[in-house]
């Protein structure tokens, strides 16, 4: 607990102005790009959706920069992989970190409803601009733009082509980075964001459609009716069951978010040091390898390259999860508690501000200052939250290093090499 608090305070005290500056920059650029995407989307829905990933990338770049700017305050990480001194090496580190972070960040962004908020803001702006254009066209007796406005996506030919082209461009940069112009590295980041975002939106809409279909099935209704009948017959059991459902829901709400952000921190810092990877030394895996060796060499190579391309996006996440697992429940539980306290502080500050301001008109006051107040509170809370996550990662890394040192001291063979691998990574 004290180590985690000390690490968090060291990070926050030494980097608070930079954390505030990066968060503010990301917020403002994100807002501006949403407005621009909505304006373009009023004329062409495809063009607007191709600009929308840039808005989310602005938030991601800000968060990646916030985590990297505090890196020199993370003692355990610095002991293994110091901050690069050369500007070219720092740029390469930032680019690789950004590419590795897109998939987990966009997934968290969508899961917590932030993507939905962006889509709603984009749709609102596009409809607003389209309405103004239509009224102006009526007044001038000119032709108004036609075509759909909004972000509703289905896996049609256009969406499929966009996803395939973006993924292929990103793959080409990864395969031939030296043969392509240097500016293409920036394009590769954008292409990665495009195919990930469009895939997430399509998958989300498809899952909602499947859930809607399942909910209307007769078998589901029978199961619900049977549960109600059992609840009526066994009231104490129903009370216990409902209590367990409530407890699990509350526990998941408290645990999942901080662990997701700790995993993102692990992906970001994992570009400098790789956490210990899980070993797939199980019978099912061995049988799969045996059958795979019977596949023709050319086909096996092609499938292996495709599988490696997808697996490379999930490997950093697995590494981060393994690091959390090795850190132990006490440390992770302490981090979750501290993270929850920070979130409670956000709610408390918001409550106090509204009580200090007092009753005001919703139209004349709150619609004008609400966004500014929300931003002001975020500028206070977000640097603390990032410091907590970064401090927890560094503390987890320190716990893992000490654990390996103990193993090296007590194991006659093999332990020393494991410690050396950790110390020499990065």
Residue carrying structure tokens 């790009």 = 33
Residue carrying structure tokens 């590769």 = 188
For the record, the structure tokens of 341 come out as 């306290």
Per residue in 345-385, pLDDT (tens digit) is: 888 888 888 888 877 777 677 777 778 888 889 899 999 99
147: left (phi over 0), alpha (psi -120 to 50) or beta: left
C-alpha 106/C-alpha 128 separation (Å) is 27
C-alpha 100/C-alpha 116 separation (Å) is 23
Per residue in 58-101, pLDDT (tens digit) is: 999 999 999 989 988 888 888 887 777 777 788 888 888 888 88
For the record, the structure tokens of 307 come out as 């599988």
84 contact partners, CB below 8 Å, separation of at least 6? 90, 93
> What does the DSSP assignment read for 220-248?
HHHHHHHHHHHHHH-HHHHHHHHHHHHHH
pTM of the model: 0.76
Q: What share of the chain is helix, strand, coil (3-state, %, to 5)?
A: 85, 0, 15
Any long-range contacts for 237-244 (C-beta under 8 Å, 24+ apart)? none
The alpha carbon of 359 is separated from its chain's Cα centroid by a whole number of angstroms, namely 37
| Model pLDDT, residue 161 | 83
C-alpha 382/C-alpha 117 separation (Å) is 18
With a cut of 50, which residues of the chain have pLDDT below it? 274-286, 288, 292, 305-306, 414-426
For the record, the structure tokens of 26 come out as 């990301």
C-alpha 387/C-alpha 345 separation (Å) is 15
> What does the DSSP assignment read for 302-327?
HHHHHHHHHHHHHHHHHHHHHHHHHH
| Model pLDDT, residue 59 | 92
C-alpha 126/C-alpha 231 separation (Å) is 49
| Model pLDDT, residue 371 | 81
Which DSSP symbol is given to 365? I
CA angle 319, 406, 421 (to 5 degrees): 45
The number of beta carbons lying within 10 Å of the beta carbon of residue 220 is 12
User: For 193, what's the count of Cα atoms within 13 Å in the CB-facing half-sphere?
Assistant: 23
| Model pLDDT, residue 419 | 39
Q: In Å, how far are 159, 168, 174, 281, 289 from 203, measured between CA atoms?
A: 12, 19, 25, 32, 30
The candidate with the shortest Cα–Cα distance to 214, out of 200, 201, 224, is 224
Instruction: Extract the runs of DSSP E, i.e. beta strands, from 74-129.
Output: none
């Amino acid at each position: 607990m004290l180590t985690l608090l000390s690490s968090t305070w060291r990070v926050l005290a030494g980097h608070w102005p930079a954390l505030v500056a990066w968060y503010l920059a990301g917020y403002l650029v994100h807002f501006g790009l949403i407005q621009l995407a909505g304006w373009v989307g009023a004329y062409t829905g495809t063009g607007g959706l191709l600009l929308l990933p840039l808005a989310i990338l602005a938030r991601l770049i800000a968060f990646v920069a916030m985590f990297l700017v505090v890196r020199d305050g993370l003692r355990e990480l610095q002991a293994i992989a110091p901050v690069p001194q050369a500007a070219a090496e720092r740029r390469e580190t930032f680019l690789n970190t950004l590419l590795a972070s897109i998939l987990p960040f966009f997934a968290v962004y969508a899961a917590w409803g932030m993507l939905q908020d962006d889509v709603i803001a984009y749709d609102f702006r596009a409809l607003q601009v389209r309405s103004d254009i239509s009224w102006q066209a009526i007044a001038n007796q000119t032709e108004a733009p036609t075509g759909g406005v909004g972000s509703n996506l289905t896996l049609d030919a256009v969406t499929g082509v966009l996803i395939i082209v973006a993924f292929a461009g990103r793959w080409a940069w990864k395969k031939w980075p030296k043969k392509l112009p240097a500016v293409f590295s920036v394009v590769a980041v954008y292409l990665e964001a495009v195919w990930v975002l469009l895939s997430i939106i399509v998958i989300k809409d498809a899952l909602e459609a499947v859930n809607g279909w399942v909910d209307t099935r007769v078998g589901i209704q029978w199961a619900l009716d049977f549960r109600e009948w059992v609840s009526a017959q066994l009231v104490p059991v129903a009370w216990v069951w409902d209590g367990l459902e409530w407890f699990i829901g509350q526990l998941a709400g408290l645990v999942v978010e901080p662990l997701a952000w700790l995993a993102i921190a692990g992906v970001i810092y994992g570009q400098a040091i790789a956490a210990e990877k899980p070993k797939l030394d199980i019978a099912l895996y061995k049988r799969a390898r045996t059958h795979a060796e019977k596949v023709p060499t050319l086909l096996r190579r092609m499938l292996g390259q495709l599988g490696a391309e997808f697996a490379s996006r999930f490997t950093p996440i697995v590494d981060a999860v393994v690091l959390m697992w090795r850190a132990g429940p006490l440390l992770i539980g302490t981090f979750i508690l501290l993270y929850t306290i920070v979130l409670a502080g956000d709610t408390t500050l918001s409550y106090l501000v509204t009580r200090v301001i007092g009753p005001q008109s919703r139209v004349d006051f709150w619609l004008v200052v609400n966004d500014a107040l929300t931003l002001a509170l975020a500028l206070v809370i977000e640097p603390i939250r990032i410091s907590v996550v970064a401090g927890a990662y560094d503390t987890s890394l320190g716990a893992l290093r000490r654990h390996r040192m103990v193993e090296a001291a007590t194991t006659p063979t093999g332990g020393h090499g494991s410690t050396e691998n950790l110390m020499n990574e990065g």
